[in-house]
Amino acid sequence: MTELRIGLGERSYPVYVEAGLLSRAAGLIRPRVRSERAFIITDTNVAPLYAKAFERHLREAGFSCRSFVVPAGEASKSFVRAGGLLEEMLAAGCDRKTFLVALGGGVVGDLAGFCASVLLRGVDYVQVPTTLLAQTDSSVGGKTAVDSKAGKNLIGTFYQPKAVLIDTDTLKTLPPRQMRAGYAEVAKYGLIADADFWEWLERNGEKVLAADEEACRFAVERSCRIKAQIVAEDEREETGRRALLNLGHTFGHALEAQSGMDGSVLHGEGVAVGCVLAARYAALKGVCDAALPERTEAHFKRIGGLVPYSWTADELIPWMYKDKKALNGRINLVLPIKIGEAAVFENADIETVRRVWSEGRS
C-alpha cells in the first residue's frame, strides 16, 4: 500500500492507494474519526457494485452504518439535493461525531464534502473515490461544491477530509467513457507540472484506459503526488499556484454548462477539449510554441478523448465570464507555456478566444 500525505498542518491527512483497499478500509478509517457511526453517501450506480460489501466490512469491524443513495449524475450536485440529504441525515440522528463516507465519483465526493462542511457546523468525512477522476483529482484537496443555475461549482466550501482511501480495483467496473473523462485530469497534471509524466502518458495512456493495474496505480499515485504538493502550497487558491489545476476548465466549464449538465458533456470531456483550446490560444498569443497544441491534441485524439461540439462562440463565451476565475468582467485563463509548465494569464483577448472556439467547432 502507498501512503501519501497532504501536508496542511492540523488539517493534514493521508491518501492510501492500493488495489483491493475497500476490503480493509475499516482499520485505516478508525484512527482518523471520532466515532464508529458512519453515514455512507453513494449513488445509484455505485451502490449495487460496492456499497453492500463495504457496509458489511465496516459492520464486521464494529462500525454502525447507514447508506444514503442519490441518483447518479451531475444533477445530484445541487443545493436542493444537498438540502434533502442534510434533512435525511439529521432525521436519522446524525450527531457531531457521526462521520460521512463519500463512496463514488466526484459528484458524490463534492456533494458529501459539502454536506459534511455544513452539517452541525462540520462533521468528519472520508473520501472513498471510485472513478479515475475522483481518484486522481476531486477526492484530494478539500474543494466541495454544488452547482448553480449560474454555473458549475459556484456554491461550495474548502473542507478537508480526514482520509482518502483509493482502491484502484474499482476502476475495473468504470465505463470506458468515464475512464476517458477522468484521464483528462490525469493528462492535465503532466501539462501543468510534470513533463516526464506527460511523456509516460504518451507511451502508456492506453494501458491506463484499459484499467491495467500497474499503470493505474502509477498514474493515480503520480497524480495525487502532484495534487498534494500544489494543495499544500496553496490550499485556498490564493497565490495562483492551485489555480493551475484549472487548465482547460474555463473552456471546459462553458461546454458543460451550455450542455445543460445533462450528461451529454462530462466534466472531464470538457476539460480535454479545454486543454486543447487553451493550448491553441496560448500558441496564437505566443505564450507557447506551435508544436504544443498539436502534441496535446494528438494525444487526446489518440485516446479518443476529444468530443465534438457544435455551439457557437457567442453561446459559449458568456459562460466563461461566470467562471470563478473571472474578475471585474475579465476572463482569466490558465495557459501552458511548455509541457510541464503553465501560468495564469489575466484579461484574455476575447477575439482570440472567439477564434479558438470557432476553429475547434465541428
Ligand X SMILES: NC(=O)c1ccc[n+]([C@@H]2O[C@H](COP(=O)([O-])OP(=O)(O)OC[C@H]3O[C@@H](n4cnc5c(N)ncnc54)[C@H](O)[C@@H]3O)[C@@H](O)[C@H]2O)c1
Residues contributing to the site for ligand X (CB under 6 A): 43, 45-46, 49, 72-74, 77, 104-108, 110, 130-131, 133-134, 137-138, 141, 143, 152-153, 170, 173-174, 178, 181-182, 267-268
CA-based radius of gyration for the chain? 20
Q: Out of 36, 55, 74, 185, which one is annotated catalytic?
A: 185
Catalytic residue among 249, 299, 324, 325: 249
- Within 10 Å of residue 27's Cβ, how many Cβ atoms? 8
* Grid cell in block for residue 175: 465505463
| 267 catalytic residue (yes or no) | yes
Pick the catalytic residue from 242, 280, 299, 325. Answer: 242
Provide the minimum distance between the beta carbon of 228 and ligand X in the complex, in angstroms, as a whole number: 13
The answer to whether 237 is a known catalytic residue is: yes
Q: Which of 60, 121, 203, 238 is catalytic?
A: 121
- Please give the torsion angle defined by the CA atoms of residues 325, 326, 328 and 332, in that order, rounded to the nearest 10 degrees: 90
Q: Of 98 and 178, which CB lies nearer to ligand X in the complex structure?
A: 178
Q: Which of 143, 180, 324, 325 is catalytic?
A: 143
Q: How, if at all, do strands 125-129 and 99-104 pair?
A: parallel
Percentages (nearest 5) of helix, strand, coil residues in the chain: 55, 20, 30
Closer CB to ligand X, residue 38 or residue 107? 107
Closest distance of CB 75 from ligand X, Å: 10
Least distance to ligand X, CB of residue 84, Å = 18
Q: Is 185 a catalytic residue?
A: yes
Cα 245 from Cα 232, distance rounded (Å): 13
Q: How far is the CB of 329 from ligand X (least distance, A)?
A: 24
Phi, psi values for residue 44, rounded to 5°: -70, -20
By beta-carbon proximity to ligand X, the closer residue of 161 and 360 is: 161
**Among this protein's residues, is 199 annotated catalytic?**
no
Helix axes 267-284, 350-360, angle to 10 degrees: 120
142, 159 contact by CB (below 8 A): yes
Closest to ligand X by CB, 35 vs 67, is: 67
Nearer to ligand X, 283 or 309 (CB): 309
Shorter beta-carbon distance to ligand X: residue 267 or 292: 267
Q: What is the DSSP letter of 41?
A: E
Respond yes or no: is residue 246 known to be catalytic. Answer: yes
Q: Scan for cell 501543468, then name that residue.
A: 192
Q: Write down the catalytic residue from 81, 225, 227, 325.
A: 227
Q: Specify whether 227 is catalytic.
A: yes
Residue 213 sits at the vertex; the CA angle it makes with 207 and 214, to the nearest 5 degrees, is 80
Q: Which letter does DSSP use for residue 66 in this model? A: E
Is 329 exposed, middle or buried (CB count within 10 Å of its CB: 0-12, 13-18, 19+)? Answer: exposed
| C-alpha cell at position 110 | 463534492
What distance in Å separates the CA atoms of residue 310 and residue 306, rounded to the nearest whole number? Answer: 13
Q: Which residues are catalytic?
A: 121, 143, 185, 227, 237, 242, 246, 249, 253, 267
